[in-house]
Amino acid sequence: MATAAASPASLPAEPQPLKGVRLLAAAFALALANFVVVLDSTIANVSVPHIAGGLAVSPTQGTWVITSYAVADAISVPLTGWLAARFGTVRWFLISIMGFGLFSFLCGVSRTLDALILFRILQGLSGGPLMPLSQILLLRIFPKEKAGIGLAIWAMTTTTAPILGPILGGLISDNWNWPWIFFINLPVVALCAFGVGSLLGAFETKRVKARIDVIGLVLLVVSVGAFQTMLDTGREHDWFGSTWIVALAIVSAISFVAFIIWEFTDANPVVDLRVFRFRGFSFATLAISLGFGAFFAQVVLTPLWLQQMVGYTATDTGYVVAWLGVFAVLLSPVAAASIDKIDIRISISAGIVWMAFVSILRAGWNADVDYWTLALPHLLQGMGMPFFFVGLTALALSSVPEKDQTSAAGLMSFLRTLSGAIGTAVATTAWDDSTRVSRSEIVPALNDPAGAMDILQGGGLTFEQARAALDRLVEVQAATIGVIHIFLASAAVFIIAALAVWCAPRPRHVSMGASH
């Protein structure tokens, strides 16, 4: 298969896992590469007003800085298996990380919106494969019995980076200048490229020369590009009330169906969809997609609600959500160590159900909530994340032969990224709708609004100021009710994900390679 890393016969002798300082340095370089790529998927979100102002464009036009990266990233991730087979795993990692650094620099020096969007597309195309490649290489450099630790390191960077992105982007834009959200990538890229280039040469795979599946590639670009653009621009165009969004949906659906048919029938598909024939991989991927969509919806909405409704600054919000990483870091080794000790489906479903419980705990928030009431669910949620993330990835990769791991990892990363985008789009739209409905229910139920207006005016406010204050009060309460509804819906999605885990067969032996 062209999308496999290579057939066993064509591979060089299996290299010995790294040890000691060399293992630590290589793991750090790979994890850092994964972190910086995932970070860039969210770091520009809060910087759009600064970018728009600096380039003299509207904020709506400025959002294409986010959309262009997301579309390019989503397109390149599922191509990872084919690219690794065609050019070599380590070689393509180095090409990707250096391309990511180059285009990060060019993004920072761009002085027109067109140039910035072009370089963001190229940055996304370069960075996308780094997520699955870093995962596969981490598993290879660790001894087999400690492979779970490598997976835990990868999971920690994948889950914490999108949380820290908006916080770091806000701090940089407020205190420095927006180009620095791209320039900070450069020393990281240099360190990662040096570490991987000097330490992982022995882990290179032989190249498998095969023709390029041009038709499959074109269908993938059209389908994913149209779908991601629809998700990113749907809210501002009133979704399916817009001809533009309907057209994108039709193009995406038709090209997606054509892509599926073509890839299953082509002898050398650009994306190896045949890995879905392994039931464990299919249901593990379904569970991680559902869970990540629910998780990411909360990651996006909580900072929005805190900053727009509760009055928190970007820095204050960072101090709240940062607690999410505490137990995620501390318990990742525990989750990795338990992979082969018990039925992995038990630990996975327990972790997901715990995240559902924490979502219900979040539903107890109100507009006057104190700091620790906000921080506690974030702290507790970190306890379930390693078992959810590490366990599901181990279950998925244990269900496919080792030669198909790179393709499988690329598909998992793609569907996880796409589910995060879907979760964000659905959650923000549902929050708006729920807020609007709640507001329409609150206004008729207000207790003596005229009396409240009199009290506010008696306190020195003008009529307009008093009216604005009362309107703000209603808006905050309605938005809070709306966000609580999303938390409860997320809990339900987590439960469905936990149930999906039990549709996967229990591997006789859980490893990062094939089940035996």
Q: What is the 3-state secondary structure (H, E, C) of 123-172?
A: HHHHHCCHHHHHHHHHHHHCCHHHHHHHHHHHHHHHHHHHHHHHHHHHHH
pLDDT of res. 4 = 39
pLDDT of res. 5 = 38
How many Å from the N-terminal Cα to the C-terminal Cα in the chain? 21
What the block records as the tokens of 200 is 């992982």
The pTM (predicted TM-score) of the whole model is 0.78
Q: Return d(Cα 18, Cα 190) in angstroms, integer.
A: 21
pLDDT tens for the chain, 516 residues long, are: 334 333 444 444 567 777 778 888 888 888 889 888 888 877 776 677 778 778 887 766 666 777 778 778 877 887 887 788 888 888 999 999 999 999 999 998 988 888 988 999 899 889 888 888 888 888 788 887 777 777 777 777 777 777 777 777 777 877 788 888 889 899 999 999 998 888 888 877 777 776 777 888 888 888 888 887 788 778 777 788 889 899 999 999 999 999 899 888 887 787 788 888 899 999 999 999 999 889 888 877 887 788 778 888 766 777 787 787 778 777 877 887 777 778 889 999 999 999 999 999 999 888 888 889 999 998 898 888 888 888 888 888 888 887 777 778 878 888 887 887 788 778 888 888 888 888 888 877 777 667 766 776 677 777 777 777 777 888 888 889 999 999 999 999 999 999 999 999 887 666 554 443
Q: Return d(Cα 135, Cα 380) in angstroms, integer.
A: 26
CATH of segment(s) 1-210: 1.20.1250.20
pLDDT of res. 34 = 87
pLDDT of res. 210 = 67
> What is the 3 state secondary structure string of 335-358?
HHHCCCCCCHHHHHHHHHHHHHHH
State the CB neighbour count (10 A cutoff) for residue 442: 15
Residue 473's closest CA among 451, 452, 488? Answer: 452
The residue type of 404 is D
What the block records as the tokens of 162 is 């999108």
pLDDT of res. 458 = 72
Q: How many helices (H) and strands (E) does the chain have?
A: 21, 0
What is the CB-side half-sphere exposure of residue 487 using CA atoms within 13 A? 23
What the block records as the tokens of 469 is 């204050």
What the block records as the tokens of 427 is 């959650």
What is the CB-side half-sphere exposure of residue 188 using CA atoms within 13 A? 22
- Residue 91 contacts residue 204 (beta carbons within 8 Å): yes
Residue 100's closest CA among 176, 41, 171? Answer: 41
Please report the DSSP string for 45-62 in residue order.
GGGHHHHHHHHT--HHHH
pLDDT of res. 202 = 81
Superfamily of domain 275-516: MFS general substrate transporter like domains (1.20.1250.20)
The region that residue 315 occupies, defined by phi over 0 for left and psi between -120 and 50 for alpha, beta otherwise, is alpha
The residue type of 508 is R
What the block records as the tokens of 122 is 């190229």
The region that residue 238 occupies, defined by phi over 0 for left and psi between -120 and 50 for alpha, beta otherwise, is left
Q: Which are the contacts of 210, defined by CB distance < 8 A and separation ≥ 6?
A: 2, 85, 86, 268
